[in-house]
Amino acid sequence: MIENLEYDAILEQFKRILRENGLKYTKQREVLIKTLYNSDEHFTPEKLYLYIKEQYPELNVGIATVYRTLNLLEESEMVTSISFGTQGKKFELATKPHHDHMICKKCGLIVEFEDQIVEKRQLGIAKEHGFKLTGHMMQLYGICESCSKNNIKGR
Amino acid sequence: MIENLEYDAILEQFKRILRENGLKYTKQREVLIKTLYNSDEHFTPEKLYLYIKEQYPELNVGIATVYRTLNLLEESEMVTSISFGTQGKKFELATKPHHDHMICKKCGLIVEFEDQIVEKRQLGIAKEHGFKLTGHMMQLYGICESCSKNNIKGR
DNA sequence: GTTACTGCAAAGTGTTTGCAAATCC
DNA sequence: GGATTTGCAAACACTTTGCAGTAAC
């Protein structure tokens, strides 16, 4: 299944895919995959573009390259994308362990969690429907402990 | 003619929301919610527009109206939307019984499911983090059986 | 009669593509 | 040196908005 590969291993895999397809290993591609690896964020293409532009100004990266690289990586199954509501598409490395979010509707607190029972069950559900599972998104909504206690009026 | 109480109830709710907000009940809005009710499909705005145009040519409906009505309905929580890949947003009536979605990343197929093990576990997870659960959303992403078989590279 | 709604077209978004110059192998 | 990749800008696809006429209340 999904292993948590070290960065070097991820990079090697990336280089291998490029080599096998007669593609080239460029600074832009290196920086993009490194950024995805080093961050826990789910990046939109726009955000990723702005971040790389700021961190590596000498590269003078273009947003078209970010889109092209993300699409390339997604086709190679090295990144996955998911959509959060209206916020558009977000990308993350396929090799990272997945986590879900629990969101407090009063104060906006976000708690990350990972649950083996749910993860396992998802595989079962997918199998029952003939799907090959590549990812998932689960968000729980509720009221956090703090907000429950101090029944403060929220937004 | 067979009476359909459920539809009448949905329509009443819709009319009530309109009334409460000083909005009007138009033929276009009527036809749109009726179409969503009568179909099991998840409609993209485009598809919904084409369908209504074909079924009710005398209305000469515009796509802007479809978008505006869907947004209105979503704000009123009468429809929900899910988005995936590059294929845009899909809408369905919110009054359908609770279910989650499994989405094929290649062809956009949406399969609905409901799973008691996951539902129960969610309550447990919330409790472990001191949350009082009020709702959730879960989407599984993968490759459907049909797309796995025809593993042809292409758009 | 007043107000909201509609279709149309134009304007916004976000994403992709064509091209000449730059970079990698 | 030859091929791919890049940034740029233009093109594209999807969604929203401004407007003047129309329909609902």
Q: Which nucleotide lies at the shortest CA–C1' distance from B24?
A: D24
Task: Say if domain B1-94 classifies as CATH 1.10.10.10.
Answer: yes
Q: Which of B69, B106, B113 is CA-nearest to residue B91?
A: B69
Question: Domain limits of chain B?
Answer: 1-94, 97-155
- How far is residue B115's CA from residue A128's CA, in Å, rounded to a whole number? 11
Q: What is the mean pLDDT of residues A44-54?
A: 94
Look up the CATH superfamily of A97-155: Ferric-uptake regulator, C-terminal dimerisarion domain (3.30.1490.190)
- Residue A2 phi/psi, 5° resolution? -85, 115
pLDDT in tens, B29-83: 999 999 999 987 789 999 999 999 999 999 999 999 999 999 999 888 888 887 6
At residue B84, the pLDDT reads 60
pLDDT in tens, B92-119: 888 777 788 888 877 778 888 989 889 8
> Which of chain C's bases lie under 7 Å from a protein CB?
3-10, 14-18, 23-25
Mutate to test the interface with A, among B133, B134, B141 (most CBs of A within 10 A): B141
- How far is residue B75's CA from residue B42's CA, in Å, rounded to a whole number? 18
